[in-house]
Amino acid sequence: MSTPDAPRGRGTFLADVRRRRAATRGRGRRIRNLFGMLRPYRGRLVLLGIALLLSTGAMLAPAPLVQRAVDDGLADGDLDALTTLVVAFVVISLIGLVASMALARLVGWLGARLLSDLRERIFRHLLTMPVAYHERQRAGVLVSRMTNDVDALQQMISSSLVTLVQSLLLLAGSIVILLTLDVKLALITFTTIPVLLIGSLAFRLASVDAFARTRETIGAITAHLQETLSGVRVIRSYGRERAHLDRFTELGDDNRAANMKTVYLNAAYFPAVEYLSTAAIVIVLLVGGHEAIAGAVTIGVLVGFVTALDNFFGPITDLSNVYTTFQSGMAALDKIGDLLEQESTLTDPEHPVAVPSPLRGELRFDHVTFSYGATKAGVTATTVLDDVDLVIPAGATVALVGATGAGKSTIAKLATRFADPTEGRVLLDGVDLRDLRQNDLRSRMGIVPQEGYLFSGTVAENIAFGRIGATREEVEDAVDRIGAREILDALPRGLDTTVGERGTSLSAGQRQLVAFARALIAGTPADRAGGDDEAQRTLHRGIGGPAILVLDEATANVDLRTERRIEEALATLLEGRTAIVIAHRLSTIRTADLIVVVDRGRVVESGSHEELLQQGGAYATLHRDWQHGTEDAAAALP
């Protein structure tokens, strides 16, 4: 993205400054959005304001007090006045203490609340993003937004932001105090302000890139780590730890270099700010001293002034100290903002149409063309589906066959609206899928994606994931119905065995069985389906479950014996449901009502097993491959 080391000739200097300014544009809006999220907690915000004012006031008290003490108490030797002042001071300090305690609590509360809300918002946003987005984004980067970046924001808000506000208040208070103490000296002091402003602006522009780089590089580190953790099996299998360590060090070096740049900038900026305060004191002493000697001001005023200067520059030094956290936080906010502002390309319609009821389950591909978005600008995406025109009749089982990469899974993706066609329409019972709410659509479907994914938890929990409120009986029933009872019962704790993240403590076939059972749980529960809706009941024979099943190589890793059992079960299961079955095994395909042969994104043939064999086309050739050599194996059988 931004290249901090871009060549910077004379002519490009201005352009560079302009670009850097632009890099921080939108921050105001984002901060406003961030604070907009605080609206529900207005009451606490008001309290926070009060606590802030009180504690800041207490901090400002010493300077005027000491001035009074010197001029009233000490000069006149009036000890009673002194005592009264001290008592007042102690009371103010105690109020300050209580106020700071309240302040710390309120800030902590609001900070934690705001970031919790922000985490939830990022998460919700990520869930609405289409699958295509997630296929291209690295999970680690997204997680980094929710961890590293939110954490940086939290530091900014809980420490820096209060310091910022408090410092500004202190600054404002000090300005007033300085002015009341002595206008001339005050004005002399204020000449440092423009110097500070220009310096800060220059610093900000100089450091924008560096701070953005630190966020990017830390994101890359997190993503690499995440991938290493998910791919640990491959890394171990091939003994490639060294390469990953080297890469990690490389990423670490990048991050360190980016951070080092901020260290240089900070080292130049902050001490300079600190020096300004010394310079101001020197000038005040010189000018004020001469005036005092001339009798124009009292010494008490001078002492008070020097003390107040501390309050004037103290916050400025403070501000510079939190500036790093502040910059990191702002850079993090930029990244989070970029993420949240990415709009989903696959949205629900404003006025969704209800899923037809009773749902017959006819799926129609109406001249559908599809291509996955180009990976890079300028590269035209290859067409994955080309003018697919296909009717999947209600209640029919349709098998998609074809070579790998032909586009079978893509057809399934479009049928479940994981993606929208580039051209053409996909219709369910005559309704364009884009007119339905995605959740309404998918909650009527049972989907076994080619890449099964299990969540950490037990086998039963994973199966119950198929639908909200699935009961244990339904889970057991689903297991029975696909004939996986024997295998899953053999697990150490049966259905209560924990599967580990991604299901790593199950075998590949066991994982598929669980994913299969999970798909059967989806849809309407048996009682409701058999309840008020007459048509539904007849359609599904009171067993409930999904109206449409999409099985993408659901049994590819299962042994033949188990698969056999599943197939027998499927015969009754698929009755009355629309099913799209993708498989490479003939036994599954042969029994389908309709076989659709896909080749390079086109539907080249469709019909029943017998019809296609008779046609003698692509399917017949494929079938010959299957048949090839069976006689030989048969001969081996006793």
Partner 1 sequence: MGTFRRLLGFLRPYRRLWAVSFVLALLAMGVTVLSPALIGHAIDRIRDGDKGGLTEFAVALALLGIGRMVLTIGRRLVAGRVSLGVEQDLRDRLYGHLQALDLGFFDRWQTGQLMSRATVDLSAVRFFLGYGLVFVVQSLLTVVLAAIAMTIQQPLLALACLVPAPLIVFVGHAYGVRGRPAQQDAQQAVAEVTASAEESISGIRVVKAFAAEDRRQEAFGEAVEHAFQKQLRAVRIDASFQPVVQFLPQISLAIVLLVGGRMVVDDTISLGQFTAFFVYVMMLVQPLRSLGVMLGLGQRATASGARLFQVLDRAPDIVAPEGAALRTLPLATEGAAIGAVEFDDVTLRYPDQDTPALSDVSVSVLAGERVAIVGQTGSGKTALVQLLPRLYDPERGRVLIDGVDVRDLDPTALRHEIAIIDDDPFLFTATVAENIAYAAPGATRAEIEGAARRARAHEFVTELPDGYDTVVGERGLTLSGGQRQRLAIARALLAGPAPGTAERPGDAGQGPRILVLDDATSNVDASTEQEITAGLREVMRGRTTLVIAHRLSTVLLADRVVVLHQGRVADVGTHQDLVERSELYREIVTYGMADQVFLSREDRPTEVQEA
Ligand X SMILES: Nc1ncnc2c1ncn2[C@@H]1O[C@H](COP(=O)(O)OP(=O)(O)OP(=O)(O)O)[C@@H](O)[C@H]1O
CA angle 458/464/466 to nearest 5° reads 130
Between residues 282 and 535, which has the closer beta carbon with respect to partner 1? 282
Does residue 422 touch ligand X according to CB under 6 A?
Answer: no
User: Which of 298, 317, 498, 505 is the binder for ligand X (CB under 6 A)?
Assistant: 505
Between residues 60 and 594, which has the closer beta carbon with respect to partner 1? 60
The neighbouring-strand residues paired with 398 are 580, 594
**Whole-number Cα distances in Å, 462 to 311, 458, 466, 487, 504:** 61, 6, 8, 16, 13
- Residue 565 half-sphere exposure, CB side, CA atoms within 13 Å? 14
**Whole-number Cα distances in Å, 144 to 151, 221, 622:** 10, 9, 47
Between residues 539 and 549, which has the closer beta carbon with respect to partner 1? 549
Near partner 1 in 138-167, by CB under 8 A: 138-140, 142-144, 146-148, 151, 159
The token duo for 334 is 């930029």
Does residue 406 touch ligand X according to CB under 6 A?
Answer: yes
Q: Work out how close the CB of 428 gets to partner 1 at its nearest, in angstroms, rounded to a whole number.
A: 15
Near partner 1 in 536-595, by CB under 8 A: 552-553, 556-564, 584-587, 590
Does residue 450 touch ligand X according to CB under 6 A?
Answer: yes
3-state SS class at 25 = coil
User: Which of 307, 409, 524, 588 is the binder for Mg ion (CB under 5 A)?
Assistant: 409
Near partner 1 in 3-62, by CB under 8 A: 59, 62
3-state SS class at 436 = strand
Between residues 298 and 383, which has the closer beta carbon with respect to ligand X? 383
Q: Work out how close the CB of 552 gets to Mg ion at its nearest, in angstroms, rounded to a whole number.
A: 6
Select from ligand X, partner 1, Mg ion, none the partner in contact with residue 397, using the beta carbon and a kind-dependent cut-off of 5 to 8 Å. Answer: none
Between residues 33 and 450, which has the closer beta carbon with respect to Mg ion? 450
Between residues 3 and 382, which has the closer beta carbon with respect to ligand X? 382
Question: How is the beta sheet containing 445-448 ordered, strand by strand?
Answer: 445-448, 548-552, 578-582, 397-401, 594-599, 602-607
User: Which of 48, 52, 100, 365 is the binder for partner 1 (CB under 8 A)?
Assistant: 100
Nearest to 174 by CA among 310, 36, 286: 310
User: Mask of contacts with partner 1, 370-389, x by CB under 8 A?
Assistant: --x-xxx--x-xx-------
Q: Work out how close the CB of 18 gets to partner 1 at its nearest, in angstroms, rounded to a whole number.
A: 29
Residues contacting residue 304 through CB under 8 Å, at least 6 positions apart: 63, 64, 66, 67, 70, 177, 181
Between residues 15 and 354, which has the closer beta carbon with respect to partner 1? 354
Does residue 113 touch partner 1 according to CB under 8 A?
Answer: yes
Residues contacting residue 579 through CB under 8 Å, at least 6 positions apart: 396, 397, 398, 548, 549, 550, 551
Select from partner 1, ligand X, Mg ion, none the partner in contact with residue 282, using the beta carbon and a kind-dependent cut-off of 5 to 8 Å. Answer: partner 1
User: Which of 2, 347, 439, 507 is the binder for ligand X (CB under 6 A)?
Assistant: 507
The token duo for 485 is 């009872």
Between residues 407 and 421, which has the closer beta carbon with respect to partner 1? 407
Q: How far is CA 556 from the centre of its chain?
A: 33
Between residues 438 and 524, which has the closer beta carbon with respect to ligand X? 438
Between residues 23 and 164, which has the closer beta carbon with respect to partner 1? 164
Does residue 361 touch ligand X according to CB under 6 A?
Answer: no
Select from partner 1, ligand X, Mg ion, none the partner in contact with residue 309, using the beta carbon and a kind-dependent cut-off of 5 to 8 Å. Answer: none
Q: Work out how close the CB of 518 gets to partner 1 at its nearest, in angstroms, rounded to a whole number.
A: 7
Q: Work out how close the CB of 112 gets to partner 1 at its nearest, in angstroms, rounded to a whole number.
A: 4
Between residues 273 and 596, which has the closer beta carbon with respect to ligand X? 596
261, 263, 267, 269 alpha-carbon torsion, rounded to 10° = 70
Near Mg ion in 480-519, by CB under 5 A: 507-508
User: Which of 163, 397, 510, 588 is the binder for ligand X (CB under 6 A)?
Assistant: 510
Beta strands 594-599 and 397-401 are parallel
- Residue 214 half-sphere exposure, CB side, CA atoms within 13 Å? 22
User: Which of 135, 250, 486, 489 is the binder for ligand X (CB under 6 A)?
Assistant: 135
Are the CB atoms for 620 and 613 separated by under 8 Å? yes
Q: Work out how close the CB of 141 gets to partner 1 at its nearest, in angstroms, rounded to a whole number.
A: 10
In what helix (H) or strand (E) does residue 548 lie, and over which residues does it extend? strand 548-552
Q: Work out how close the CB of 337 gets to ligand X at its nearest, in angstroms, rounded to a whole number.
A: 26
Enumerate the H helices of 231-298 as residue ranges: 232-238, 241-294
Near partner 1 in 466-505, by CB under 8 A: 466-468, 487, 490-492, 500-502, 504-505
Nearest to 529 by CA among 518, 516, 538, 517: 538
Are the CB atoms for 537 and 529 separated by under 8 Å? yes
Stretch that binds ligand X, among 167-175, 233-241, 308-316, 405-413 (CB under 6 A): 405-413
Give the dihedral sign, CA 377/378/381/387. positive
C-alpha–C-alpha distance, residues 208 and 212, integer Å: 6
Near ligand X in 482-501, by CB under 6 A: 491
Does residue 267 touch Mg ion according to CB under 5 A?
Answer: no
The radius of gyration computed from the CA coordinates of the chain, to the nearest angstrom, equals 35
Does residue 407 touch ligand X according to CB under 6 A?
Answer: yes
Between residues 23 and 174, which has the closer beta carbon with respect to partner 1? 174
User: Which of 214, 320, 409, 606 is the binder for ligand X (CB under 6 A)?
Assistant: 409
Give the dihedral sign, CA 504/507/512/518. negative
Near partner 1 in 55-74, by CB under 8 A: 59, 62, 65-66, 69-70, 73-74
Does residue 509 touch ligand X according to CB under 6 A?
Answer: yes
**Whole-number Cα distances in Å, 43 to 13, 32, 50:** 48, 18, 11
HEC secondary structure over 380-435? CCCEEEEEEEEEECCCCEEEEECCCCCCHHHHHHHHCCCCCCCEEEEEECCEEHHH
User: Which of 195, 201, 263, 296 is the binder for partner 1 (CB under 8 A)?
Assistant: 263
Near Mg ion in 433-452, by CB under 5 A: 450
Residues forming the site for Mg ion (CB under 5 A):
409, 450, 507-508
Residues contributing to the site for ligand X (CB under 6 A): 135, 372, 384, 402, 404-410, 450, 491, 504-510, 557, 559
